[in-house]
Amino acid sequence: EADIYQTPRYLVIGTGKKITLECSQTMGHDKMYWYQQDPGMELHLIHYSYGVNSTEKGDLSSESTVSRIRTEHFPLTLESARPSHTSQYLCASSDPPGSGGRGTQYFGPGTRLTVL
Amino acid sequence: AQSVSQHNHHVILSEAASLELGCNYSYGGTVNLFWYVQYPGQHLQLLLKYFSGDPLVKGIKGFEAEFIKSKFSFNLRKPSVQWSDTAEYFCAVLLNAGNNRKLIWGLGTSLAVNP
């Protein structure tokens, strides 16, 4: 069982609010990821990080921002939530490519966000 | 552009039926291959993975997958499904291309197993 945590699990919030979705992992992985997934749909990579102070935008454009000040922590922030942000947000981290896991990604339980 | 194709978006089976979910990728280099499963209301879990060696890999819960390099395929199989296998299944391919290794995801296959 991978040790990657996300809080909150569920969040219902009004339009215009600022929110931060938390993600932390205790595996010491350098690489971390945020995906957006609508129910029954594919995963879209929105942000990733190769280590502390490294953040990159993913394939799907997102109005969210991320930070990576500590290895174990990779929070995602929405400055002003809108109904179009309603989705599930999945955090993941991965083994180093040179390790036995060879880049296997491990996922947290997700945060289901609803913006009214 | 590199891509991963999962041929069936929705599959409905009866219990004890055999399962095969197709996955093909478009990339000529070395790859690592994964199948993930997402049970209703649960997080994505690794089902099995292939890095090298025996192209037939066995995963959890009786699943297996076969890597056929010539066909760029990594199909998932299970001889006899159970109701509890109802879930979303995702194929993913890690492209081993220099330092910027990228995981490419398929669109997913929704499997419903009727009791």
* The pLDDT value given to residue A100: 66
HEC readout, A20-46: EEEEEECCCCCEEEEEEECCCCCEEEE
Residue of A nearest to B105 (CA): A43
Q: Which stretches of B1-115 are assigned E, i.e. beta strand?
A: 3-6, 10-14, 19-21, 23-26, 31-38, 45-50, 56-58, 64-68, 73-78, 87-95, 102-105, 109-114
Looking at A13-22, B7-16, B26-35, which range is the least confident one? B26-35
B2 contacts chain A (CB < 8 A): no
**Which are the contacts of A10, defined by CB distance < 8 A and separation ≥ 6?**
A111, A112, A114
Contact A102 B32 (CB under 8 A): yes
In this prediction, residue A103 has a pLDDT band, given cuts at 50, 70 and 90, of confident
Chain A partners of B108 at a C-beta cutoff of 8 Å?
40-43
In this prediction, residue B96 has a pLDDT band, given cuts at 50, 70 and 90, of confident
B51 contacts chain A (CB < 8 A): yes
SS3 A83: helix
Q: How far is A81 from chain B (nearest CA, A)?
A: 24
In this prediction, residue B30 has a pLDDT band, given cuts at 50, 70 and 90, of confident
pLDDT > 90: percent of chain A: 76
Residue of B nearest to A99 (CA): B51
* The pLDDT value given to residue B61: 93
In this prediction, residue A45 has a pLDDT band, given cuts at 50, 70 and 90, of very high
Cis upstream peptide for A8 (omega within 30°): yes
Token pair in block for residue A24: 């932390």
* The pLDDT value given to residue B97: 61
* The pLDDT value given to residue B8: 86
DSSP state of B85: G
Q: How far is B64 from chain A (nearest CA, A)?
A: 17
